[in-house]
Amino acid sequence: MSETRSPREVFQKLLEGITTGRFSELAELYAEDAVVETVFEPVGPRRFEGRAVLRQRFAEVAAHSPVELTARNVVIRETDDPEVIIAEWDYQVHHRVTGRTFKAANIQVLQVRDGLIVTSRDFHDHLALIVGGGNLPELVAALEGK
């Protein structure tokens, strides 16, 4: 029988899957009823519920993401709750369309139970990704409701 992954190990597996582009494997790191909140998402949904929804979301990202991500400065902090960790890191981002390379900061608060993510509050620097992709005018238009 295999051992259940710790919250730290689950986060490391998640980050590895993202940075290597293995998005089709990521949903399996989440519980069936997992809840993910992308707190600073400027437009679009900020809450995703269930592994099936997350699987669809990861497939969309895999099909449309124009970026290559490398994780840097990864710090994982344990909390007084053994199921909860706080991970901080930077992505070194290379945007394949604009050719820009830049940094985007990230924080995730993960709750992992029985080796699966049950909740995740994600604080990503979406503005850096938008500006780096040359999409600031589209963001402004979306926020103005145009």
3-class SS letters over 48-80: EECHHHHHHHHHHHHHHCCEEEEEEEEEEEECC
Q: What residues form DSSP beta bridges with 37?
A: 47, 121
**To which H or E segment does residue 94 belong?**
strand 84-95
CA angle 16/93/97 to nearest 5° reads: 120
For position 1, what pLDDT does the model report?
A: 40
Question: Splitting the chain (146 residues) into consecutive groups of 10 residues, what average pLDDT does each group show?
Answer: 85 97 96 97 94 97 94 98 98 94 97 98 94 90 83
Domains observed in the chain: 7-143 (3.10.450.50)
pLDDT digits (tens, 9 = 90+) for 38-65: 999 998 899 999 999 999 999 999 999 9
Q: Please report, in angstroms and rounded to a whole number, the separation of the first and last CA atoms in the chain.
A: 55
For position 144, what pLDDT does the model report?
A: 87
| Interacting residues of 12 by C-beta distance below 8 A, sequence separation 6+ | 76
